[in-house]
Amino acid sequence: MTTYTLRSASPAKTRADAVVVGVLSGDSRPSLAPGGEDVLDAYGRRLAPLLASLGVTGKAGEVVKVPTSKAIASPMLVLVGLGPSVTATSVRRGAGAAARAVTNAASVAVALPADSPELVRAATEGYLLGGYTFTAYKKQSSTSTAPGEVVVLSPASRKKDVAAAFEEAQVLARAVAGVRDWVNTPPNDLRPPSFADAVVAANKARGRGAATITVKVLDEEQLAELGCGGILSVGAASDAPPRLVELTYAPQGATTHLALIGKGITFDTGGLSIKPAANMHEMKSDMAGAAAVVQATFAIADLGLPLKVTTYASLAENMLGGSATRPGDVVTMYGGTTVEVLNTDAEGRMVLGDALVMASEKEPDVMLDVATLTGHMVVALGDRVGGVLGDDDVVAAVMAAATVAGEDHWPMPIPEFMDERIHSSRIADLAQHDWIRWGGGLYAAAFLREFTGGLPWAHLDIAGPAYNSGGPTGHLTSGGTGVAVTTLVEYARTLSEHGLPARGA
């Protein structure tokens, strides 16, 4: 296991197997970023021609390893491109790229720009997440190339806020990695009952000294007694029945209450409205929203944020079979709203609907739901940006939190005419889907809004960024990304400090 320490020391004199410094791209030539001044002094006039001969540009994502020949105490200098300027985002991504480039080193010193809490957090998070691997199903899973020690170098290491940011980064990275582990787990090993068990086990693993989170699991019989028709209809054809997991974190003295709701489809065939076979294997990631809200709750508690959090992870497996929900069926949701099902591959809104009503009954100050909900949002925003829809004030606050967290989300509207579309069913209160090609992500959000009880609410559609089908980039590795966790935690922090602004303010 890698240990992380924060220290104020010279990168040129630090005796680590590798020292990581940043490189900024310039108009004329690249230059070492802040944090690498002592390395520059050690090399002197030799550095510029060395960078030129190696073709170093400082472009974001660039990593060049250089044997130092005793120019500095470390035998290996790792040059990481940060692009044209120092930002928390460039540092986070640069640290992630470095973590994958440095293998089989017993110790690494990270001397990226880190003179503020934001940059220390970025460097630490980036290195932790960039070095993430998922090897549970590999024969050689016990073989690790991760360093035994990573030292984050910061001239401000003795400041309390910097030290706190360093510790917080490790909590957040652990939560993000927890989401990645669950998303990357094969769907035969993470079905609704086993996912619920995994949440219970993960909470217990936090240890006796951790802030208390209570976990309650509702099985299919209890869901039926409550009338949770949405989640039951989605999971009707699976031999692994649905579960609804409720987590409660209620620190003493908390005056603000946040509800988090996550979509947890452990595998999505599309049901009778079956998906194309190509890339269906990636539908194991359709539970990323549930994983995100659970791990965010753990992080909020571990950071001791002074607000109450009630979290619902709505878990089902959308399969085919004789008991599967049919297009044309009418389902009665928890709370009594009837829904005409017209596309069984639009199942996420059904499992969220039950949970949203249940959450609203707790009368939270604000509700956030997170879901890999619609391909429409991927068409609109691509595969690296999530959409945020809902009440304007809440959406703005989520966007502000995302900026601090370093995640890419974008506000999207819920046009007034969507209300007419979702009420187009001739036989039920709501139409679950309408097969109009345009604006499907906006339609889905309008549908979800019907179950919020009029409470302040925002919906995060992470269908694009929840799973990285390509190669690693920056601090994002292939497979599950853990997106939304850091945004949710930052939102919770702001809410606990400032409360919810007056609606329309």
Contact by Cβ (8 Å): 93, 129? no
Contact call for residues 60 and 82 (beta carbons, < 8 A): yes
Given the residues 65, 159, 275, 384, the one annotated as active site: 275
Q: What is the DSSP letter of 403?
A: H
Active site residue 138: no
Q: 174 catalytic, yes or no?
A: no
**Phi, then psi, of 289 in degrees rounded to 5:** -65, -45
CA distances from 320 to 188, 263, 276, 312 (A): 15, 19, 14, 25
Structure tokens at 275: 């998906």
Q: How far apart are CA 192 and CA 241, in angstroms?
A: 7
Which structure tokens are listed for 268? Answer: 């999505």
Which of 100, 180, 308, 349 is flagged as catalytic?
349
Classify each residue of 71-109 as buried b or exposed e, where b means 16 or more C-beta atoms within 10 Å of its C-beta: bbbbebbbbbbbbeebbbbbbbbbbbbbbbbbeebebbb
Tokens representing 361 are 């009954």
CA angle 302, 304, 305 (to 5 degrees): 120
What SS3 class is residue 217? strand
CA dihedral 249, 254, 255, 259 (to 10 degrees): -10
Query: Which are the contacts of 173, defined by CB distance < 8 A and separation ≥ 6?
Result: 124, 125, 128, 129
- 142 to each of 139, 182, 225, 296, how far by Cα in Å? 8, 19, 45, 28
Q: Do residues 35 and 153 touch, judged by C-beta distance below 8 A?
A: yes
Tell me which amino acid residue 380 is. Answer: A
Q: Which residues contact 204 (CB under 8 A, 6 or more apart)?
A: none
Question: By the 8 A CB rule, do 190 and 294 touch?
Answer: no
Q: Looking at the DSSP assignment, which residues form a beta bridge with residue 76?
A: 67
Q: Give phi and psi for 318, each to the nearest 5.
A: -90, 100
Contacts for 478 with CB less than 8 Å, ≥ 6 apart:
468, 469, 470, 471, 472
Residue by residue, DSSP assigns 440-477 as HHHHHHHHHHTTSTT--EEEEE-TTTTEE-S--BTTBP
Are 150 and 195 in contact, with CB atoms under 8 Å apart? no
Give 312's strand partners: 246, 261
Positions marked active-site: 275, 349
